[in-house]
Amino acid sequence: VPNNIIMIGPTGDGKTEIARRLSKLANAPYIKVEASKFTEVGYVGRDVESMVRELMALAINQVNIQMLEDVQIEARKKAREMVLDKLISPISKKDLDETEEAYQERLERYNRSRAKMESMLDEGKLDQRKIDIEVKDLPKKPQIEVFSNTGMDMIDLDLQDMLGNLMNKGGKQKKKSFYVNEALKYFQDIEAQKLVKKELVIEKAKDLVENQGIIFIDEIDKIASTDKKSSADVSRSGVQRDLLPIVEGSNVPTKHGIIKTDHILFIAAGAFHVAKPSDLIPELQGRFPIRVELNSLTASDFEKILTYPENSLSKQYIALFKTEKVKLTFTKQAIKQIAFYAYKANEKMEDIGARRLHTILNKLMEAY
């Protein structure tokens, strides 16, 4: 059973980034949701179970991409053969009046021509040659919005499958011209999709979600009750009560089957400027045994943020100016001053953490 975490600290101090890095290290499916967007079951709005459904959808996409990558070599081989068949038609069967010797001679000529064409294809000499391919013009799948006991989410109802033969399943065939290199990519994508079994994708995604999934619940302080008598706080308590069974471990129905949340890691975060962590209902507090308090960022922290990350703000601005053929450099002293002003601005005004760097750099570069 995972030890759920609650992070307490001012906005922009890296709570979301910590959770994101954790998921990246574990190569786990991860989603971020905002607690303030949820409403108690029975009210208009998103119900808390939708976060599990979103995580499942994300995991399916993640697994599908990975499995498609794994079959690319095999798909490429099949695509290559299909393109060659378009460039040089497969040899016909032996005619009844054709001698074995004549057929073998014809087969040898065909094999030589195909080998030559294969060599030219591999060398890229045929890339700009055009070939005609039969393409299916599939009808659009209509989507309708329905209300269900699993929440008011958009459910993709495939009316094509539901109505069966009443609709044109295959779609119309039409010829389309492709360059050889485009045709290779087209066939490769189709063959890769065929090699990936949907049932296996769902099975792997389900296992990933149930055993490695991470749900980051931001702004949890917004659903903490400070005044138990007000109707708004009653609603917030309702959201907390709805969250409780999911965090504790329950079965959530999705269109891909039941998802057990017992081993999903939940990371909650909030600034807690007005409310306190103790304002959360005791049962929910108990489900987050690890409590982490983060401090406001210092000038030294801002310096590191501007220089260490792979896609730091300073590097982003350098790349942006490079597109205009302008060379931009940041000296150590400049970085130090930007960090100092960001720290001072947060100290004198609202503390918005690392987001202050965006404001300062944007103002600094405005003239250029």
> Over the stretch 176-235, which tens digit does the pLDDT of each residue have?
899 999 999 999 999 999 999 999 999 999 999 999 999 999 999 988 877 655 555 556
Greatest CA separation found in the chain? 98
CB–CB of 11/271 below 8 Å?
Answer: yes
- Between CA 137 and CA 340 the distance in angstroms is 60
What is the set of domains in the chain, with CATH numbers? 5-64+205-292 (3.40.50.300), 73-195 (no CATH), 299-365 (1.10.8.60)
The pLDDT value recorded for residue 137 is 63
Residue 245 tokens read as: 């069974």
| Partners of 269 in the β-ladder | 7
Residue 144 tokens read as: 């309708």
- Between CA 337 and CA 230 the distance in angstroms is 47
Of 47-61, 229-243, 263-277, 349-363, the least confident: 229-243
Show Cβ contacts of residue 304 under 8 Å, excluding neighbours closer than 6 positions.
none
- Between CA 357 and CA 363 the distance in angstroms is 10
Show Cβ contacts of residue 19 under 8 Å, excluding neighbours closer than 6 positions.
30, 32, 214, 216, 267, 269
E-only strand ranges, the chain: 5-8, 30-34, 130-137, 172-179, 214-218, 251-254, 257-260, 265-270, 290-293
> Over the stretch 319-356, which tens digit does the pLDDT of each residue have?
999 999 999 999 999 999 999 999 999 999 989 999 99
**C-alpha pair distances (Å), 294 with each of 7, 105, 156, 350:** 7, 80, 41, 17
Whether pLDDT at 307 is above 90: yes
Share of the chain above pLDDT 70, in %: 85
